[in-house]
Amino acid sequence: MRTQEKEKLIGRKLPRAELGLIAAIHARTQHLPAPRELIFGMGDDCAVLRPLRGEDLVMTTDLLLEDVHFRRAWHPPESVGHRALARGLSDLAAMGARPIAAYLSIALPADLAGKWFDRFLDGWTDLADRHQVPLAGGDTAEAPRTGGKPKMAADVVLVGGVPRGKALLRSGAHAGDTLYVTGKLGGAAVELRDLRRTSGSTPDRTPIRISKTRDSSRPHPHLFPQPRLAVGRRLLQGRLATAAIDLSDGLSTDLNHLCQASGLGAIVDRQAVPLAPGASLKDAADGGEDYELLFTAPPGRPLRSVSGIRVYPVGRMTPKAGSIELLAEDGSRAPFMPRGWQHFRVARLK
Ligand code: ADP
Ligand code: MG
């Protein structure tokens, strides 16, 4: 379809075919203020971005698949929309980046194109408003009707900006650095377990709605994780951290990534790992999806909070590459194996 025709159609009320959906997406997201880098967003064949002088762009993409990353019967549509955006924002946070634009490509079963999708957009825009993330484009298709029940799939691309050459990497840690995590861990695993236990509820009648005040108490760490963008930016701007990664797969697995990238080992003090209410050490270590940050900082000046978020020292980096150990109360040490989430290994939502 030609650009002018598309532009004429965007913003007008149309039936919920492809163009109607795109119009709805546009109408629901165009109020978001665009940063200077975004010259032109939705409505043409491409968005136009102009990086600021002295900045690097960071980009990330995340898939969100029905029955892999969410279930209709467990996750209210607001949560699906929120999580679709939160995962990439958490990656930006881990780089110390400021969000510039998001892209949303979706394959949508026809029966989700109405109310379900409106509620998906509620969840998306609530989080996009909070972090000022304009939607710069995407693609919309109907999920195939052949081969059983059509399933929803989304791919979300995020673009962010960092001062040139200053992105917070996984590889910058030094031996002796203190290991920190933001917030308490394992809450997402606890809430996912609850969802699994109470599953079978009708997806459209689930009572969970978005609460504007949920941030401080974090009552829904799985359904509505809060990416630590302000913390990441402060770590970068204040040169507080030497390396960072976001906790998407679980402390055990993500610490392994950080150690590998930095060519170091680590010792984690079991007693020091901050546990969310109801969470076990296993939930914190292997549960994943907490979307907190794991970062390293020089040991000289202990940190208690960053950008108003409590941070907890959980261990230290060691020079022994590949050796990651858990220190027990009695002083004994055991290997801290990466047992977090890996695709192709187990089915997460079973
Ligand atoms: P084209 O066929 O040239 O790729 P489309 O008709 O798919 O264009 O899209 C028209 C405009 O709407 C483009 O600016 C595109 O980025 C935007 N768009 C399409 N789907 C989405 C979506 N799911 N989210 C955000 N923007 C979208
Ligand atoms: Mg297209």
Residue 78 predicted with pLDDT over 60: yes
Any ligand 1 atom below 6 A from CB of 20: no
Determine the atom of ligand 1 nearest the C-alpha atom of 3: 3
Distance between Cα 164 and ligand 1 center (Å): 30
For residue 146, give every residue at least 6 positions away whose Cβ sits within 8 Å of its Cβ, in sequence order, or none: none
Task: Please give the residue that has the higher pLDDT: either 9 or 242.
Answer: 242
Residues having C-beta closer than 5 Å to ion ligand 2: 139
Residue 215 predicted with pLDDT over 70: no
Model-level pTM?
0.90
Torsion-angle region of 137 (φ positive above 0: left; ψ -120 to 50: alpha; else: beta): left
Query: For position 56, what pLDDT does the model report?
Result: 98
Query: For position 202, what pLDDT does the model report?
Result: 47
Distance between Cα 21 and ligand 2 center (Å): 12
Task: Please give the residue that has the higher pLDDT: either 268 or 202.
Answer: 268
Distance between Cα 302 and ligand 2 center (Å): 50
What is the best residue among 42, 46, 80 to mutate for testing ligand 1's pocket, by most ligand atoms within 8 Å of CB?
Answer: 42
In this structure, the chain runs to a length of 350
For residue 271, give every residue at least 6 positions away whose Cβ sits within 8 Å of its Cβ, in sequence order, or none: 329
**Do 151 and 112 meet the contact criterion of CB atoms below 8 Å apart?**
no
What is the best residue among 48, 106, 139 to mutate for testing ligand 1's pocket, by most ligand atoms within 8 Å of CB?
Answer: 139
